[in-house]
């Protein structure tokens, strides 16, 4: 199943089951795709995650350890819709005292049913039509990064490749981190470009899409307990941005193919606040706000709060709560009337106006100096997400036929040696 190429890159439900990776990623796992189905887009940590753009490294750091990560996640939507299983592995290794190389591998499998179009029943209510439990798909991806550390600057380059039966993506990226003010201030820069090829199953055409994304950010240590960060990101997408698997019902005429603009400009601003509380065993409050906007008419707000609570003997508990709200795209219509003259239209629920509440908890245990290992960390997590049209800021709840929920279970292990 090809990527929903036109999905707003930062909408909360703009990902599909194979993009569940974005939900599961650690600092070693970065992914750029948005696909079909309804995974929440967890871009609360970075605004408009760049394709393959790894987390910024600290300039001048000397880390001689090898890092090995493995992560598994299971995602399941309500009403027997999509399910996904994701397996990730990553290895980071030092090359001398000034360079680090990393390689990331991902395999995800998905199955189930996905919304295709809407119709009006005899009572005049709008309802969804699902594809049926016919979707079966596997995606394999590989990416690699190389980072060189100077005294005050870290420079990284990377690239990656992703393939599934109807979609191929290639990308390259670069990022730079620059420490200033006695390393109390850090400036971050990033850029990436992706080249995608879409060949939908059951169709006789092939289309392409290119994406450029750029990041500017700053991190400031305020005092020994407080850090603030701010990023602004820009993205430009051009080519086939429609979803070849979604249709729009024109009343009295039948189904028409999903048709979206051939270009999209988007930007986002992210502000983060982190404060440590010594009286609570070094616990930390993380508070994030993110604003997103694109020229398709979508604006979105995200508020997220988490509490990192260390306990005894390397245990840590991290509860989290999140609220998201977005406006609908200018060309979104649940269905089109008989006299409609629109040439650009979509009934994709991810482009509708809606809100979402989600919450979860992670529990981790760190084992320092475990046998031949320098460190081992094990983590498990659970998240529950509920999307509802009436949760939208200023919304009227008219899109309730799109409401759904999901849960996500994760487990990961990280070792240093």
* Short-list 295, 333, 348, CA closest to 34: 348
Among 55-59, 209-213, 267-271, whose mean pLDDT is lowest?
55-59
Which tens digits make up the pLDDT trace of 119-136? 998 898 999 989 876 778
Range 17-416: architecture per CATH: Beta Barrel (2.40)
Q: Quick check: 20 pLDDT over 90?
A: no
Cβ pair 351, 330 in contact under 8 A = no
Structure confidence at residue 79 as a pLDDT band (50, 70, 90) = confident
Q: What pTM was estimated for this model as a whole?
A: 0.85
Which tens digits make up the pLDDT trace of 148-204? 999 999 999 999 999 998 999 999 999 999 999 999 999 999 999 999 999 998 888
Beta-strand runs (E) in 261-298: 263-277, 283-294
| H or E segment to which residue 410 belongs | strand 404-416
CA distance 23 to 16: 11
Which tens digits make up the pLDDT trace of 312-337? 889 999 999 999 999 999 999 999 98
> Length of the chain, please?
417
Place of tokens 């969804």: 128
Mean residue pLDDT of the chain comes to: 85
Give the CA distances from residue 189 to residues 58, 176, 228, 397, in Å, rounded to whole numbers and listed in that order. Answer: 13, 5, 17, 40
The domains of the chain are located at: 17-416
What pLDDT is attached to residue 196? 97
Structure confidence at residue 147 as a pLDDT band (50, 70, 90) = very high
38 Cα distance to chain centroid: 12
């Amino acid at each position: 199943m090809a990527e929903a190429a036109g999905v707003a890159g930062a909408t909360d439900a703009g990902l599909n089951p194979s993009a569940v990776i974005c939900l599961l990623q650690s600092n070693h796992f970065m992914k750029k795709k948005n696909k079909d189905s309804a995974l929440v887009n967890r871009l609360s940590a970075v605004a408009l995650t760049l394709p393959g753009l790894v987390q910024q490294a600290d300039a001048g750091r000397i880390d001689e350890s090898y890092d090995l990560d493995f992560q598994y996640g299971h995602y399941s939507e309500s009403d027997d819709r999509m399910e996904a299983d994701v397996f990730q592995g990553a290895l980071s290794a030092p090359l001398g005292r000034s360079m680090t190389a990393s390689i990331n591998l991902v395999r995800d499998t998905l199955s189930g049913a996905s919304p295709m179009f809407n119709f009006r029943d005899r009572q005049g209510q709008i309802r969804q039509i699902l594809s049926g439990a016919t979707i079966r798909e596997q995606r394999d991806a590989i990416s690699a990064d190389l980072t060189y550390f100077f005294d005050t600057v870290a420079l990284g380059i990377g690239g990656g490749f992703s393939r599934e039966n109807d979609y191929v993506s290639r990308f390259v990226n670069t990022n730079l981190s620059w420490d200033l003010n006695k390393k109390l201030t850090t400036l971050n820069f990033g850029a990436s470009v992706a080249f995608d090829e879409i060949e939908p199953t059951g169709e006789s055409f092939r289309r392409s899409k290119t994406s450029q994304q750029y990041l500017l950010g700053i991190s400031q240590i305020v005092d020994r307990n407080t850090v603030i960060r701010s990023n602004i990101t820009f993205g430009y997408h051009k080519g086939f941005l429609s979803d070849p698997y979604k249709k729009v019902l024109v009343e009295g005429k039948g189904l028409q193919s999903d048709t979206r603009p051939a270009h999209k400009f988007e930007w986002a601003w992210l502000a983060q606040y982190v404060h440590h509380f010594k009286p609570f065993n070094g616990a930390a409050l993380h508070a994030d706000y993110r604003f997103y906007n694109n020229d398709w008419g979508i604006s979105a707000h995200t508020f997220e709060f988490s509490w990192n609570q260390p306990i005894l003997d390397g245990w840590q508990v991290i509860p989290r709560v999140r609220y998201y709200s977005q406006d609908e795209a200018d060309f979104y219509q649940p269905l089109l009337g008989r006299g409609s003259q629109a040439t650009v239209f979509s009934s994709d629920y991810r482009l509708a106006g809606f809100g979402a509440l989600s919450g979860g908890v992670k529990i981790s245990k760190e084992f320092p100096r475990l046998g031949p290992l320098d460190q081992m960390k094990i983590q498990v997590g659970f998240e529950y997400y509920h999307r509802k049209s009436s949760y939208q800021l200023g919304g009227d709840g008219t899109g309730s036929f799109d409401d759904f929920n999901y849960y996500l279970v994760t487990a990961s292990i990280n070792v240093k040696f």
